[in-house]
Copies of this chain bind each other. A is one copy, B any other.
């Protein structure tokens, strides 16, 4: 199968269940909202080594937020509910409450489960906190040095999907990189999804386990390394490929992840020199979701 002369490999992305929260951060200006969103979602590429997977979902115009100010939705994810509880509390408390002019609203409504990050944070007010209503929502108002910080008491969580992914294989490194940037731009338009890696892009796909050093449980995916294509016998890097980047997607449900993968792949294929779209899986034994590439398109 081909799309814009790009081979769509007959394979699938293997994705996993993960607990997902979704917040709306508003601020006085778009720039200030992004400052908070960036801090709160940093150091959040993969739970392999980070305390959470986190990223900016999308921009919400001031015409659509509870307080009429510009905002960004972000997602914070962890496989453990307990750790997600900790991360939600600390990423809001340390990264958003501390940021100029922000407020935080729940952006995952009607879930069966909630975490009470806002309720816990209100005690920071040392008795001076109170409840106020904003755009039909009851929120805690916590006096801070620069004014009052508003935060909703509860944040919905649900079982989402982590590790949706595809690989972009191109004839050169930077064709692959710009295609990855184009994919991230497109995925940014799909609500309920994030691309948690730096700038949305993974430069270093990994495999489970390690052949040479048994103390490691993840190591470089040598079969997909462009600089090893002549050295590794079982290399899966085509002769005409010199650049590969991966996009990893977390979403609030499988449908969102599928739509993000579809739009991302279509966008990547607008860039010259893209040879193949592939995807990462572990033989289907590890993850709950198998998303077939050709099915998407």
Interface residues, chain A, CB within 8 Å of chain B? Answer: 28-32, 35-36, 38-46, 48-51, 54, 61-63, 67-70, 89-91, 93-102, 123-128, 142-149, 167, 170-178, 180-182, 185-186, 189, 197-199, 201-206, 210-213, 215-216, 218-222, 224-228, 231-232, 242-246, 263, 266-267, 270-273
Q: Assuming A31-B181, A102-B203, A204-B97, is B145 touching A70 (CB within 8 A)?
A: no
Most buried by B among A98, A148, A185: A98
Interchain CB contact (< 8 A) of A145 among B49, B97, B205, B270: B205
Identical subunits present: 4
A27 to B187, alpha carbons, bound, how many Å?
16
Q: A68-B267, A127-B211 are in contact. List 15 more A-B contacts (CB 8 A).
A: A28-B182, A35-B199, A38-B38, A38-B42, A40-B42, A42-B43, A50-B95, A69-B182, A69-B267, A96-B198, A123-B212, A126-B213, A145-B244, A147-B226, A147-B227
- The answer on a CB contact under 8 Å between B270 and A128 is no
Interchain CB contact (< 8 A) of A173 among B216, B228, B273: B273
- The answer on a CB contact under 8 Å between B185 and A178 is no
- The answer on a CB contact under 8 Å between B35 and A213 is no
A180 to B100, alpha carbons, bound, how many Å?
10
- The answer on a CB contact under 8 Å between B198 and A39 is yes
- The answer on a CB contact under 8 Å between A204 and B144 is yes
Measured between beta carbons, the chain B residues less than 8 angstroms from A178 are 28-29, 174, 177-178
